[in-house]
Structure 1
């Protein structure tokens, strides 16, 4: 049976499985079920439907199937015996991608309440239960499963199929405790793309008795959720300059910006304003102005990093904001090119400048950047289109009655993957790979340093040389991936 609690102005519906005795274990303020219900009120949840015990795993799965058939938008399934940080739930429920996802911990040791899974490329590619085994497992599922709107029909189908298999005993001695684990198995084997939302230092544990519940709740207090949230807002795979020369201290601006109620779009606007001021100073053409322009350009890039960090910290995501951020990056860079060219063309004595050829270099640098961005966007778009077409034509459905969940990979792919992972573990190689493509942080640093120390001609020549190398490297990589 089910009962529902309606919430206004939210985007996600939740199915709360209150089907195990552990849901009624006590904690401060009531039961574990009360605790998780209270946590959901703090999150963007439109509706919570509580499924109570009514006949074992089969009945519970059919209840989920019925709700999924009628659902619109995103649907989250989680057990009522879960003891978790609110921030752990928020990392999944408030993620801007509303697709299917599962909460996982990157440890290989599984158990009855944390079944093994295998994560590759940020996705769950194999999942287990008491019946289904996962060779080479490298993570565990922590009981929270989100189905995107595109996968609701698949969720309903696999729930009904699993219910039939459970009722007839063909899945062994599965119980209602495993309902959400079985749903993850079913979705993965139906070919759904399940994003792996990693717990990191946070906790999310299912419990069976009062002692384990008390211990799990006690462990929650050992973690500073606010600090984890801030750490998660800082990119861990950014460029060298952004990581060590900006994010190392801009992280301290995130909370003050949030307290001032600055929006990410407002910070983006400040970044654009600083870049325009930098261009104006560059256009003056004298040494002091070049140095001032370089400082303003650096501060503009700091704000460029800060707007993303603030968006991730406050979870104020929007398609318009993402578009605005990308367009602002291009605008800032090209305005600075113009300012540098004007200043050099003025022919100040110290620079040895003049109009001859500088505009050709500026236009060439601009065209090179346009080509690079076109390559990035066209390649990403073509990969996304190919993936969508492939999924529509042929989903890799695997039988739920196969006890071992194997995912086939061709040998060359495994070799390339192993080599890539080995290079990522080498610190020097990892940073060289990120720097060689001349990301925006390195470009801003290159412009600022060469403009302040040398002149615009040196700046444009450096951009063309490093940018040309980056294009060759990116093209070679894309061609190799496409051929593979």
Structure 2
């Protein structure tokens, strides 16, 4: 990992569960507890509290007093301490066992994610065990979680011990922790131990209806250990992975559009590290992308064949930088709401400036009367309006889904008993049009065709560049309107099908 990367401060509070003897195991950085403290400092986590076996919450590095050092409070006391912290917190709370051996970037998957919502660190390895309880992940969410008391049919992943409760789920975390404490102290959960505290909390949050994002490890490692030999083995596995290379690979979207995947990301990935070393921010790269788009519009407005070709090349380079700003943001984890908003606004600005440049070049200074030659201004405005409508379809649907989920959660959360030993399968095959779409998704050709038909920004920029360089603005606008109309109809059909599911 490069030290030159600028990391945003994490707003999460972290409670380290130093309640098992394994947290005192030795490693190159001291004890496992010391190592985790250093990793959290690297991730700019400012609020770290250590939960000792006596139930005391201490700041990292503080030593427990004699009373707490001698008093082992047990699982119930640990859970009540977590509940107390959750009720007093104003931001996300991360519960992290101090017997964990993990890559720093693995912890960053939760602590530096811009959403700050509830999430759990999971591995795609479905081979569950005492320190890696099984979970089932569907649609990027943990929909079922297990422990030594709770089983999970059709498990497809394992929980690796790190749980984050978003601000909206803090009350749920506190309620679950207190209920679990009552059940554990009354013996109704069987012979559970303090080592399972975080596993039980995940079970409780999922069954209480919290939307827990599955933060997948990928090639990174995170393993809880019980003895020195397992600790040494886990540390050796960390050393086998090039953490910085994994960070770079995950910064490049693997489910992007066809043009972006094969004609941009294949080489823009080589610009990410140099940009990070130069301390360029994603917003700076976005500004450079806008500047290239403006230069492209200037060349297009010249109306010459050379100007068309030069403008097309600048449109392509502008889009490369548009991809690079997101890749750089993911690589450096420099996420800000302003950056996300600026990136979206810049995309629209660049596109419409290019439209204006193409129309000006085609009109060659002629007046606007009757829409200019061949109605070029009418075509430019029609292409712009169509793009606005398509974005309205997307954003309006996304907003309605978010509102429906929020209202549904307010009305009634699907609470399930924490005493159930089994967890039936939630969810069912999608019916009708959506069911057919999901089956077709398995075919790679169909999958790429579905990505292209919606005319994402990569395909739009490629369409503009190619038609402008080889033909003229009238052909460019006709192609945008034709393909865009098909895309709008496809999107509208899909949104209606999902709305009636």
Question: Shorter-chain TM-score category?
Answer: over 0.9
Q: Structure 1 residue 243 and structure 2 residue 261: aligned?
A: yes
Which of 439, 448, 454 is matched with 2:465 structurally? 448
- Note the C-alpha offset of 1:55: 2.4
- Report the secondary structure of 1:11's partner residue: strand
Structure 2 residue aligned with 1:170: 188
The one-character-per-residue Cα deviations of 1:89-127 (angstroms, maximum 9, x if unpaired) are: 011100001111000001211110000001111111110
Assess if the C-alpha contact under 8 Å between 2:434 and 2:498 holds in 1: no
Using the TM superposition, name which of 145-154 and 8-17 deviates more: 8-17
Which of 290, 294, 309 is matched with 1:291 structurally? 309
- Note the C-alpha offset of 1:425: 2.9
Hey, what's the Cα distance between the residues in 2 that align with 1:420 and 1:101? Answer: 28
Structure 2 residue aligned with 1:4: none
- Report the secondary structure of 2:159's partner residue: strand
- Note the C-alpha offset of 1:303: 0.6
Hey, what's the Cα distance between the residues in 2 that align with 1:216 and 1:100? Answer: 26
**Structure 1 residue runs of 4 or more that deviate by more than 4 Å after TM superposition:** 410-413, 415-421
The one-character-per-residue Cα deviations of 1:374-398 (angstroms, maximum 9, x if unpaired) are: 1111111111111111111111110
Q: Structure 1 residue 374 and structure 2 residue 353: aligned?
A: no
- Note the C-alpha offset of 1:317: 1.0
- Report the secondary structure of 2:42's partner residue: coil
Q: Which stretches in structure 1 are left out of the alignment for 5+ residues? A: 1-7
Structure 1 residue aligned with 2:64: none
Assess if the C-alpha contact under 8 Å between 2:434 and 2:497 holds in 1: no
Hey, what's the Cα distance between the residues in 1 that align with 2:18 and 2:191? Answer: 20
- Report the secondary structure of 1:425's partner residue: coil
Assess if the C-alpha contact under 8 Å between 1:347 and 1:354 holds in 2: no
Q: Structure 1 residue 107 and structure 2 residue 125: aligned?
A: yes
Hey, what's the Cα distance between the residues in 2 that align with 1:417 and 1:474? Answer: 13
Hey, what's the Cα distance between the residues in 1 that align with 2:244 and 2:104? Answer: 11
Assess if the C-alpha contact under 8 Å between 1:347 and 1:355 holds in 2: no
- Note the C-alpha offset of 1:406: 2.1
- Note the C-alpha offset of 1:408: 3.3
Structure 1 residue aligned with 2:424: 406
Which of 207, 210, 224 is matched with 1:192 structurally? 210
Assess if the C-alpha contact under 8 Å between 2:143 and 2:426 holds in 1: no
Which of 332, 345, 348 is matched with 2:350 structurally? 332
Count of residue pairs brought into register by the alignment:
472
Hey, what's the Cα distance between the residues in 1 that align with 2:372 and 2:434? Answer: 51
- Note the C-alpha offset of 1:482: 0.6
- Report the secondary structure of 2:129's partner residue: coil
- Report the secondary structure of 1:77's partner residue: strand
Hey, what's the Cα distance between the residues in 2 that align with 1:327 and 1:391? Answer: 31
Which of 317, 323, 329 is matched with 1:311 structurally? 329
Assess if the C-alpha contact under 8 Å between 1:44 and 1:93 holds in 2: no
Structure 2 residue aligned with 1:18: 18
After TM superposition, the structure 1 = structure 2 runs for residues 341-352 of structure 1, keeping only pairs within 5 Å, are 341-346=359-364
- Note the C-alpha offset of 1:22: 1.1
Structure 1 residue aligned with 2:39: 39
Hey, what's the Cα distance between the residues in 2 that align with 1:240 and 1:379? Answer: 24
Q: Closer, same or farther in 2 for the Cα pair 1:412/1:318, shift >3 Å?
A: closer
Structure 2 residue aligned with 1:5: none
- Report the secondary structure of 1:49's partner residue: strand
Give me the CA root mean square deviation.
Answer: 1.7
TM-score (norm 2): 0.92
- Note the C-alpha offset of 1:207: 0.7
Q: Closer, same or farther in 2 for the Cα pair 1:200/1:398, shift >3 Å?
A: same
Using the TM superposition, name which of 459-468 and 54-63 deviates more: 54-63
Hey, what's the Cα distance between the residues in 2 that align with 1:219 and 1:250? Answer: 30
Q: Structure 1 residue 433 and structure 2 residue 486: aligned?
A: no
Using the TM superposition, name which of 22-31 and 284-293 deviates more: 22-31
Hey, what's the Cα distance between the residues in 2 that align with 1:463 and 1:417? Answer: 27
Hey, what's the Cα distance between the residues in 1 that align with 2:93 and 2:416? Answer: 23
- Note the C-alpha offset of 1:362: 0.8
Assess if the C-alpha contact under 8 Å between 1:346 and 1:354 holds in 2: no
Q: Structure 1 residue 29 and structure 2 residue 29: aligned?
A: yes
Hey, what's the Cα distance between the residues in 1 that align with 2:30 and 2:394? Answer: 53
Q: Structure 1 residue 469 and structure 2 residue 486: aligned?
A: yes
Q: Closer, same or farther in 2 for the Cα pair 1:441/1:182, shift >3 Å?
A: same
- Note the C-alpha offset of 1:31: 1.4
The one-character-per-residue Cα deviations of 1:177-207 (angstroms, maximum 9, x if unpaired) are: 1000000001001111101100000000001
The one-character-per-residue Cα deviations of 1:37-83 (angstroms, maximum 9, x if unpaired) are: 11111113121111111222112111111111211201100101100
Hey, what's the Cα distance between the residues in 2 that align with 1:230 and 1:412? Answer: 35
Assess if the C-alpha contact under 8 Å between 2:91 and 2:167 holds in 1: yes
Hey, what's the Cα distance between the residues in 1 that align with 2:205 and 2:403? Answer: 22
After TM superposition, the structure 1 = structure 2 runs for residues 212-227 of structure 1, keeping only pairs within 5 Å, are 212-227=230-245
- Report the secondary structure of 2:285's partner residue: helix
- Report the secondary structure of 2:173's partner residue: helix
- Note the C-alpha offset of 1:356: 2.9
Q: Closer, same or farther in 2 for the Cα pair 1:38/1:418, shift >3 Å?
A: farther
Which of 87, 104, 107 is matched with 1:86 structurally? 104
Hey, what's the Cα distance between the residues in 1 that align with 2:280 and 2:197? Answer: 43
